[in-house]
Amino acid sequence: MIVKARYVSRLLLVALFFCSASVALPLVEKQTFTAKQFRLFSGKVLPEVKVGWESYGELNAEKDNVILITHYFSGSSHAAGKYQESDEQPGYWDAIIGPGKPIDTSKYFVISVDSLANLSAYDDNVITTGPATVNPETNKPYGLAFPVVTIRDFVNVQKAVLESLGISKLHAVIGPSMGSMQAIDWASAYPDWVPRMVSVIGSGQSDAWTTAALEHWARPIRLDKNWKDGSYTRETAPVEGLVSSLMLITQQALHPGFFNQQGSAISYKPLESAPLEDIRQSHSIVSWLEQRARSRADKMDANHLLYLVRACQLFVAGHNGSLQEGLSSIKAKTLFMPAANDLLLMPYLSTRTFEQLREAGKNSHYVELEGNLGHLEGVLDIQEQGEQLKSFLNDKK
Amino acid sequence: MIVKARYVSRLLLVALFFCSASVALPLVEKQTFTAKQFRLFSGKVLPEVKVGWESYGELNAEKDNVILITHYFSGSSHAAGKYQESDEQPGYWDAIIGPGKPIDTSKYFVISVDSLANLSAYDDNVITTGPATVNPETNKPYGLAFPVVTIRDFVNVQKAVLESLGISKLHAVIGPSMGSMQAIDWASAYPDWVPRMVSVIGSGQSDAWTTAALEHWARPIRLDKNWKDGSYTRETAPVEGLVSSLMLITQQALHPGFFNQQGSAISYKPLESAPLEDIRQSHSIVSWLEQRARSRADKMDANHLLYLVRACQLFVAGHNGSLQEGLSSIKAKTLFMPAANDLLLMPYLSTRTFEQLREAGKNSHYVELEGNLGHLEGVLDIQEQGEQLKSFLNDKK
């Protein structure tokens, strides 16, 4: 019953958004940022970096009302609002970003930037630089000639975007999942920029479990005969490998509670006749998952997925020798918000980072998201902790 | 510290076994059972079924002291003992099967049978019939022409083996994971045979979550260019797909607690230089997992893995329309033993089956395995609940 109430409340939120949008909210516009000779954390240099960004609310004269939103693995800078009235869905965190919402755009200038190697390379609303980008030296897509990029590089691109706007300090940085990695890295790498940091469904580092778990996302792509060591065109892309990867990611980001509701909705049964009769046939729930993945694969690039996996695998806050070292430089007040039922980045990852910060005498807070969506609680249901978030962001440091 | 104590105690158990084995225990011998024109649950008929089986202890004159052990997904009928003094490891449940142990071979005749489509098709100590078996009609391996097999078929093969020995009733049936599925199906399909059933790290059915989760094990194999719709020879087998599948299975059967200890043991760090420098390189923990999988893949058949996945996906106790219907026929006293930290078949699956049996007025019991091995607690650490198991098995019904 709790779940149903949640669904209804989410529907209501969406409905309310439609109403208010038609009255007042301005439409969102994607901007482009370009940098030349961009030096990566590895020391390698990209001749050109081009990324998209978008913002909500107004930058004040002092340029000190900036909240940076860092996005998750399969996300983009589209955190809130709509590009056109007719868009089916607003940005992913629209429930908490807007006038009067926990991240209040009547007070704050909220900004978000597309990552390097963004998964949705072929989405018209995403601007990114990655293996699918044309290498100016060869006039072909980089493929695996593209250098490995890290969470730190995503942070440094965001910093360059902010500096191009004359910004030199944030009010806060906040992000879910891979976005949480960027938020923590911001607080560690540029402590004077970051007075407040919120890590949602995140981790202070990729432990052995997480790095190995991420590898399973990459392997189906590398097995696809169309992958060809990363040298493919969009027309001959390793779609089947990408679909398999997305199926795995989708399930791991959910929880049995929610997943089995979907099963009931499509009348899943273990003993279905098609998969009993023929090894090549699938259960209804498998077909459901596959169709969901296939519909998303169209705008995504398989090599980009490999590079995002690697960026996450390499992550330790501060990009130093140890998590402890990385956390030691943090000056921000911090808030950790794992999802209790998260099976992908389990709460222990947040707990350990939070505890290490407390042990180092830092001002750190912890609150769990409830609900049955698993990891996706932090993307689709974060408004559950909207009040906590609001008071954390509005408190004087 | 608890974990270290466990390790030590397991080492001690193994050491003790070595000592006692050199003194008294008889060596185990694999037997072969053959049946002709074997009718499957699907209605299809296999011209010949050949499976291996082994036993420990003596069948009494009344033939009423039989405990059947049903094996897990990547296991075989080698549940206890050694084939030769020089074997590095005894059978997987040796800690609880033997004279004076919870499954006491001085009282019981303990027997186990290799499954159809057993994963270790090329292991000299496994005898099985599956897609890698030569199809008498074509003189080539069946490949995907092999009919889909179910947990019920494994049960019916076991029943045929038992009947060939003049046995018509069990003292108990007990198995872990996929073995638990067989044990529950036995209790439902042949209630007059089964007075006691123990489900270890199991489930009464594959819910939508489980069926989808199992699918991820199959997809890497089908993506491998050597798979060729199942028509390959052992020399040109889809090894990379099989290795990817085994990597996923291995991790899912474990828990971060144990896994991160392994990470520490090999000095895993997120920010390792090889994977930072080169997208084609891997982290130490990924190499560790891959090597582990590769060393096991050698004796395994990729198509067999697909068929085992399917058998598990199709599973509902009783192989009827619903779990409730399947459980209604059970006469056995039952014991459910999930692992508290299991991420593969989570405790809720055991809980639900247990609760449905209680609601139907059946004599059912529940106890959880602790420890940090995750799913594998039920295979590698079951002796933790040895006393519970012993009293359950020895109680008059």
- For A246, which residue in chain B has the nearest alpha carbon? B216
Asked whether the beta carbons of residue A148 and residue B276 sit closer than 8 angstroms, the reply is yes
Q: Which position among B76, B77, B120, B177 bears the catalytic label?
A: B177
- With respect to residue A274, please indicate whether it lies within any of the assigned structural domains: no
Q: How far is B340 from chain A (nearest CA, A)?
A: 15
A190-210 pLDDT, tens digit per residue, is: 999 999 999 999 999 999 999
| Residue B395 confidence (pLDDT) | 87
The conformation of residue B233, written as its DSSP 8-state character, comes to: -
Residues of chain B with Cβ-Cβ distance to A247 below 8 Å are: 212, 215-216, 219
Residue A207: which of B211, B240, B263 has the nearest Cβ? B263
Q: Has B273 been annotated as catalytic?
A: no
CB-count burial class (<10 Å; 0-12, 13-18, 19+) for B61: exposed
Cα separations in angstroms, B371 against A34, A224, A258, B337, B374: 52, 38, 27, 13, 7
| Residue A39 confidence (pLDDT) | 98
- With respect to residue A127, please indicate whether it lies within any of the assigned structural domains: yes
Q: Which residues pair with A174 in a beta bridge?
A: A69, A198
- For A229, which residue in chain B has the nearest alpha carbon? B280
Largest CA-CA distance found in chain B, in angstroms, rounded? 69
Helix (H, G, I), strand (E, B) or coil at B204: coil
Asked whether the beta carbons of residue A270 and residue B212 sit closer than 8 angstroms, the reply is no
Domain that holds residue B124: 2-394
- For B247, which residue in chain A has the nearest alpha carbon? A216
Q: How far is B290 from chain A (nearest CA, A)?
A: 10
Q: Has A375 been annotated as catalytic?
A: yes
CB-count burial class (<10 Å; 0-12, 13-18, 19+) for A78: buried
Closest listed residue to residue B77, CA positions, set B112, B109, B120: B112
The conformation of residue A40, written as its DSSP 8-state character, comes to: P
Helix (H, G, I), strand (E, B) or coil at A47: strand
ipTM value for the complex: 0.94
Suggest the residue from B313, B316, B323, B352 to mutate for an interface test with chain A (most A CBs closer than 10 A).
Answer: B313
Q: What is the mean pLDDT of chain A?
A: 94
- For B343, which residue in chain A has the nearest alpha carbon? A343
| Residue A47 confidence (pLDDT) | 97
| Residue A395 confidence (pLDDT) | 87
pLDDT category, B26, cuts 50, 70, 90? confident
| Residue B4 confidence (pLDDT) | 40
CB-count burial class (<10 Å; 0-12, 13-18, 19+) for B142: buried
Cα separations in angstroms, A227 against A232, A234, A239, A379, B276: 6, 11, 9, 30, 21
Q: How far is A54 from chain B (nearest CA, A)?
A: 30
Closest listed residue to residue B375, CA positions, set B337, B335, B344: B344
Rounded mean pLDDT, B369-392 = 95
Closest listed residue to residue A244, CA positions, set B344, B313, B215: B215
CATH number at residue A163: 3.40.50.1820
Helix (H, G, I), strand (E, B) or coil at B243: helix
- With respect to residue A228, please indicate whether it lies within any of the assigned structural domains: no
Asked whether the beta carbons of residue A211 and residue B277 sit closer than 8 angstroms, the reply is no
The rounded distance, in Å, linking the Cα atoms of A99 and A86 is 20
The rounded distance, in Å, linking the Cα atoms of A32 and A35 is 10
Q: Are B206 and A270 in contact (CB under 8 A)?
A: yes
- With respect to residue A143, please indicate whether it lies within any of the assigned structural domains: yes
Q: Which residues pair with A66 in a beta bridge?
A: A109
Suggest the residue from B223, B229, B346 to mutate for an interface test with chain A (most A CBs closer than 10 A).
Answer: B223
Q: Residues of chain A with pLDDT > 90: what percent?
A: 92
- With respect to residue A297, please indicate whether it lies within any of the assigned structural domains: no
Asked whether the beta carbons of residue B208 and residue A282 sit closer than 8 angstroms, the reply is no
The rounded distance, in Å, linking the Cα atoms of B25 and B2 is 31
Q: Which position among A77, A115, A177, A364 bears the catalytic label?
A: A177
Contacts of B181 (CB under 8 A, 6+ apart): B151, B175, B202, B203, B312, B315, B317
Q: Residue B2 pLDDT > 90, yes or no?
A: no
Residue B307: which of A277, A279, A348 has the nearest Cβ? A279
The rounded distance, in Å, linking the Cα atoms of A271 and B276 is 46
Q: What is the mean pLDDT of chain B?
A: 94
Residues of chain B with Cβ-Cβ distance to A259 below 8 Å are: 208-209, 212
| The two three-digit tokens of residue A66, written as one number | 């900036």
CB-count burial class (<10 Å; 0-12, 13-18, 19+) for B234: exposed
Helix (H, G, I), strand (E, B) or coil at B205: strand
A236-261 pLDDT, tens digit per residue, is: 999 999 999 999 999 999 999 999 99
Asked whether the beta carbons of residue A271 and residue B244 sit closer than 8 angstroms, the reply is no
Q: Has B375 been annotated as catalytic?
A: yes
- With respect to residue A311, please indicate whether it lies within any of the assigned structural domains: no
Q: What is the dihedral of CA A83, A86, A91, A92, to 10 degrees?
A: -160
The dihedral built from the CA positions of residue B12, B13, B19 and B20, taken in this order, carries a sign that is: positive
Domain count, chain A: 1
pLDDT category, A24, cuts 50, 70, 90? low
A176-191 pLDDT, tens digit per residue, is: 999 999 999 999 999 9
Rounded mean pLDDT, B336-346 = 98
Give me the numbers of helices (H) and strands (E) for chain A, helices first please: 13, 12
**Helices in A190-282 by DSSP H: which ranges?**
208-223, 239-252, 256-265, 273-277
| Residue A175 confidence (pLDDT) | 98
| Residue A23 confidence (pLDDT) | 44
The rounded distance, in Å, linking the Cα atoms of B145 and B143 is 5
Q: Are A307 and A252 in contact (CB under 8 A)?
A: no
A323-333 pLDDT, tens digit per residue, is: 999 999 999 99
